[in-house]
Each structure stands twice: as C-alpha cells, then as structure tokens.
Amino acid sequence: MPSVERVPASSGSRKVYLRVFGRICAIILVAAVAGCADSRADMPSSSDPVFVGLDRSVVEEVLSSPVAQDRVAGDAPEVARSRYQGMVRNFVLCRSALAAYQSWLREGQAPPLPEQPEPLNPASSAASIARATNTIESLLASGDIELLRNELTNTAGCGEWIPASPGDLAGPTISDVVRGGQLGKDDG
Amino acid sequence: MLVSRSIRVISGAIAGGLIVALMPSTAFAYSENNRTVSCDTAYTTSLVTLYGDGTLSYSQVDTSPDTNRYAWAVSDLGDSFPLRALVDQQNTKWFSAPARNWTFKTRIVQNKNCNGISPGNGNTALDYQAFVI
C-alpha cells in the first residue's frame, strides 16, 4: 500500500481561516473608510500652495473660522481647497466692499474698489470671485448706494457671515455693520 | 459613397446646430441621484455641485430608512443659503442666487439609529433631485 504523506489538517485549514479572516478584516476596513467618506473635509495648512499670493493673516483667520469649516463639511479634499481659497478671497473682497460702502456714506461719493489680490495658483472658484468683483464694481459705478447695501445684506451673500473686523470671528458681521449704519473710520 | 457620407455629416451638424439654437439660453443644471448618507448629525454629505444663477431647487425624494434631513447650498466662495429641514417627498427652493458653483449638502436633523444592533447610527439611502434654474 503506497504511503500517502498527509498534510496536517490543522495547518491547511489554519491558512484558509487566516485568509478568510484577512478578507473579512479588509471588507470591514473598506466599509469603515467608506462610512467616513462624508465626514468633515481635511483642512489645508496655511502654507498650502493654494494660498500663495494671498494675505497670510486672512488665510489663518479663514482656516480658524468655525463657519468656514462648516462650509467645507463633506467636501472632497480638492473641492475644500478650492472653496477655502474662494473664502479667503471673499473675505478680502467683502471687507473692501464694506469699506467702500462706508466711504460712500461718509463722503457722498463712491470710491473705486481697491485692486484685489490674485493667488499664484487660482482654484476653480476663481471664476466666481471674478464675477463677484465685477458685481461690486458695477454697484459702485451705479450711483445708487442702496444697491450696494442690498448686496451686503443679502441672505446668501458674503456680508451675512463674514466678520466685519479682521480676526474678530465672534464679532459683528459685515451685514450687521451695514444694517447698523456704522460709518467706519471711528464712525466719525 | 464619400459624397453621401459628407452630406450625412453636414446635415447632422446642421440638425445639431438647430437643436443647440432651440435650447433655452437660460442656465439650467439638474442632477437626480442616490447616495448613501449618514444617520449621524456629525456627518455632512456634499451631494452635487451645479453651476448657475437664479433659483436653486432641492427635493428629498426618498430615504430608506426614513429620515428628516437638513438641506442647504454653499457657493464656491463659501456663501450659503440657510438650512431647510425636509422629509421624504418634500421640496425646497432658494431664490436670487448669483452665478456660482453651488454645492448641495445634507445632514440628518437628529441622530437616528439606522443600523439596528450594529455599532453607530449607520446610514440611509437617499434619493434626491437638485436643480439650478
């Protein structure tokens, strides 16, 4: 009778068990990662290339803003980076528009909008900031200060959530200041 | 043969041009989709980004398990329309949107166990429609 070499049953089945166990672990890991895919977006650092050319203090202000963080919640990382760049530029533009509005109130004449900073690496939000800048410029040229006031107090506009004073995240928004009739420049 | 093929190509191009010409000039973007979204208030999902201005419209067609969810839209500059709470078969609109890339987002209103005895609150299957008109 030929001798048959027997592989220990425990060794072979252990390999099978380990393989199955490994696959189950992999499936659980994939499911866990998929489950987290809609969690809060990763925040870029202030030295991220998307912010080159923009004011560092505004970048840090936006990155530390709980409202801004909420606005990127659920975004894919690249979308979040683009939106963060858009928000930094929106902070600068909206505060420029507020300053122009207050100057218009004080002096009775609309000033020109200061030149806006351009990032070295414009994100996909660049087209929207260009449109928003054109809108503010056309409102300043309109001769009707009420139109600019409406823009800055619009429910879905920049004035509704951007703080009027740089770094004052808990302070009044641009919309609050416009509604309050504050003239700026020490409210003289 | 070559001539007839050329005629077909040219007539196809003319027909295509007519179709484009007859399309309304106003911006219109639409998305109908389904996503697995969380039943935990800690998780927000970005559903879809549509470009346009005017009226934004969102419908929570169905969730399974049923959930009461917030919906809102955020522009690529971070400006946002306010949150609206919706149940299945409900629609909401936001008006006077400027021309931006608008991302429709959703989050459950209150934590709900959609997961049975498994850990965490789990997920629900969401069918939705989003428009920019």
Residue A9: CB partners within 8 Å, gap ≥ 6?
A: none
Model confidence at A71: pLDDT above 70? yes
* Chain B interface test: which of A43, A54, A128, A151 (most B C-beta within 10 Å): A128
Two tokens at A122?
Answer: 């414009």
Average pLDDT estimate for A71-100: 97
A31: Cβ contacts below 8 Å, ≥ 6 apart: none
Comparing CA positions, the residue from A118, A101, A112, A120 lying closest to residue A185 is A101
Is A175 an interface residue toward B (CB < 8 Å)? Answer: no
In whole angstroms, give the CA distance from residue A182 to residue A7: 88
Q: How much is the ipTM here?
A: 0.79
The minimum CA-CA distance between B99 and chain A, rounded to whole Å, is: 7
Partner residues linked to B92 by β-bridges: B58
Architecture category of domain B26-132 in CATH: Sandwich (2.60)
Q: Is the CB of B78 less than 8 angstroms away from the CB of A83? A: yes
More confident of the two residues A76 and B17: A76
Which chain A residue is nearest to residue B56, measuring alpha carbons? A156
CB–CB contacts below 8 A, A to B:
88
Q: What angle do CA A110, A99, A43 make, to 5 degrees?
A: 135
B74 or B6, greater pLDDT: B74
Global pTM reads: 0.79
Rounded to an integer, the average pLDDT of A134-143 is 97
How confident is the model over B101-114, as pLDDT tens digits?
A: 999 999 999 999 99
Burial tier of B97 (Cβ tally within 10 Å: 0-12, 13-18, 19+): buried
